[in-house]
Structure formats: structure tokens, C-alpha cells
Amino acid sequence: MSNGRTDTPILFTPLELRAVRLRNRTVVAAMCQYTALDGVVNDWHFAHLSQFATGGFGLIIVEATGVEERGRITHGCCGLWHDGQIAPLKRIVDNLKANGATPAIQLAHAGRKASAQRPWFGDGPLGEADFKRGDRPWEIVAPSALPFGEGWLMPHALSIGEIAAVIDNWVAATRRALAAGFDVLEIHSAHGYLSHSFLSPLSNRRSDKYGGSRDNRMRFTLELTEAVRAAWPDDKPLFCRVSAVDGMAGGWAIEDTVALAKKLKALGVDVMDCSSGGIAAEGKNLLPAPKPGYQVKYAEQVRREVDIKTQTVGLITGPHQAETILQADQADLVALAREALHDPYWPHHAAETLGADPAYEAWPTQYGWWLYRRSLGTFAGRPGGSDAAAAT
């Protein structure tokens, strides 16, 4: 599979996915804000996500969105488990589209990692201080009755009938995402959440058809994907985010991800979004310390061995770094998270660095008109201009 070559940096060439056209290859990864009220997004989410569209990103993925109330990570996580949650998301979607970005949403179920603290309150299991704030725990579910770590809640092991109900809730959330106007949908099957916890032998100790062999452990994710794909229009792409490796002895490994990706491709998944880790509490995995581009190798291997488009993420901060990944056919999309928080205008600044937009044409007109003229030093010469304007 080749990215192709043009005079324009690949980072700023469009990408066609089914009937959806991304304006470039830059992506804002799903980033939880822990700021929703009863699962409903608000003005914070609107401002947070809108800045990335103005900033030039091609694809913007709304944070992990619970398909049922007990599937939230924290009390502050957003959801799509009832129709009242659609309209506030549609407001965001409409704004992203109006500013040239493609809106995506990541549908998720936190499984045994649900009912947790917001990160700034500790990022662990709920405790007395959280109870005093009104954050009470709720029953959590998982493939097996194994807690995420010491001090974490004991999850209820889902029955076969309950598994079917969770998949039905995922399908209902998919239909709500469509009603909100999203063009891309991503299934969250990474970082120790419900779907990932079915995949990994470290968290799945079942002895029925959903446990034991790798094929059985993949069954939940495959059935879920098949059901979601059937509910999601054929002309809209479907992503799947995975932890390509657990990074623990006896855990899920890259060869397992390759096997899974082959089956997901056959079910209609268009892009594998490759991350890693998360199956065990902090300090328990054997993954090396993160360094720039440390997860690119997973996206590259899946892309090469499965012949499927991939998205990579993980300490990708510089435009030359991102362009090199694409030029080397290691991935088709490059996702940023914390770097996007640090610089919401990263794509525009990257285009400057790579010489892809010398006239500031990709910027909003309200900004680009001024910035281009500043680059030419012509502020003072415009009709009605002044030396004061030229100096600013």
C-alpha cells in the first residue's frame, strides 16, 4: 500500500475514506475532558473542539463517549445512551463541518475501569473525598470478575445475555451518532476498556465461547464491530482503536493485533488506530518509556501485514516527524493529543514549516488575510492602514 507522492507534503494531501474526504492527514485524537454533566456535552466541549477545526485539523475525534451510563470512565464523561444527548453534540458537529473539519466520535465502554476519579482528583478508584463531592460509585462490568488493580472495584462478569445487551446499546449509540451528524465512527477497543479486556488473556478468564482461545477472546469485538458496521452507513468509514500490545508477559501481542485486524477489515473496518498498553494499573506493564513516535512501529506493521489504512499516535510533535512517518508508508493518518492542546493551530504552523501554505490560504479568511500581509510587511500600505497597525 502506498501513500503516493505529490509536490505537496503528504501531511496536507486529502484522504478519501469511502464517501468521506478528509482535507488533510492531521487528526485530533479522542481526549476525555471529564467535564460533561450526566453525560451531556456543554460549552467547554464546544470551545475545546471548535478550536481544532479553526486550527486546520482534518479529522477531529470527540472523546470516548459511553454507550451506556455504567460505561463511563468518570462522572464527567460524555455519553450517547439517550436521545437527549444528541442535540448538544450536533451543535459541535455542525461547527466543525462549517470550519472544514471532519467530525468523528469514539464510542466506548470503560468496563472494569469505569466508576473512577477524574484525573485531577487522583486518576484512581473513587474514595471518600470523591463521595463528599457527590461522585458515588456504580456497578461495573467486565468479561471476568477481576479488578483492574488493587483497591479498584470488583466488576460483575457479564453473562452471554448481558453481552448481547451491551452490543445492542452500542448499536443504539451508533444510530444516535449518525443522528448527530458524525461522518466517522471509532470503536474503542484499547487501553484496558471493555472490548480490550475481552481480547487480553490477562483480563479475560472466561471458559465459554467468549474466553479461552484467541478466536474466542476476539468474539466480542468482532460481534460488536459487525453489529456497529450494519448500523453505520456504508458510505461512512469505521475506525477501530486498539492497544496493539499489552506490554506484559502472557498478554495481547502485536501478532494478535494483526490477526484481529485481518478479521476487522473483512467486517468493514477502514482504519486501525494503533495505540498500546492500558490493560493493567500504572507501573505494572513492561512497555518501554515513551519516546517520540514510540507507537509508530505498531501502525506500520499492521498496515504492512494487513494491507489496511492505519492511524498512529504517541509523542508525535513536529511537522517533519509527521511527514516522515507518512513518506515512509508507516501510517496514513497522524494523530495528536497533548500537542494539539499545546498548539490548537498545529496544522497551520506545520504547513508554514513545510512550505505547504505560503499565502496562508488554509487559515480562516479572518486570520489568513492579516497574517499573509504581515508576512509581506504590507500592513502600512493598505488603504486606511496605519503605522500602528503595521507594528502589531
Query: Which positions are catalytic?
Result: 193
Selection from 301, 295, 258, 263 nearest residue 277 by Cα: 295
Looking at the DSSP bridge assignments, the partners of residue 333 are 311
8 Å CB contact between 331 and 325? yes
Task: Classify strands 20-22 and 102-108 as parallel, antiparallel or unpaired.
Answer: unpaired
d(CA 51, CA 29): 14
Contacts of 142 (CB under 8 A, 6+ apart): 111, 112, 155, 156, 157, 158, 194, 197, 203
8 Å CB contact between 71 and 167? no
d(CA 216, CA 70): 25
Task: Classify strands 309-313 and 26-28 as parallel, antiparallel or unpaired.
Answer: unpaired
Residue 209 in grid coordinates: 465461547
d(CA 103, CA 29): 11
DSSP H or E segment with residue 63 = strand 59-66
8 Å CB contact between 28 and 245? no
**What are the respective helix, strand and coil percentages of the chain, to the nearest 5?**
40, 15, 45
Determine the angle formed by the axes of helices 214-231 and 160-179, rounding to 10 degrees: 30
Residue 84 in grid coordinates: 437527549
Q: Running DSSP on this structure, what letter comes out for residue 116?
A: B
Backbone phi, psi, residue 139, to 5°:
-65, 135
d(CA 73, CA 84): 20
Residue 120 in grid coordinates: 485531577
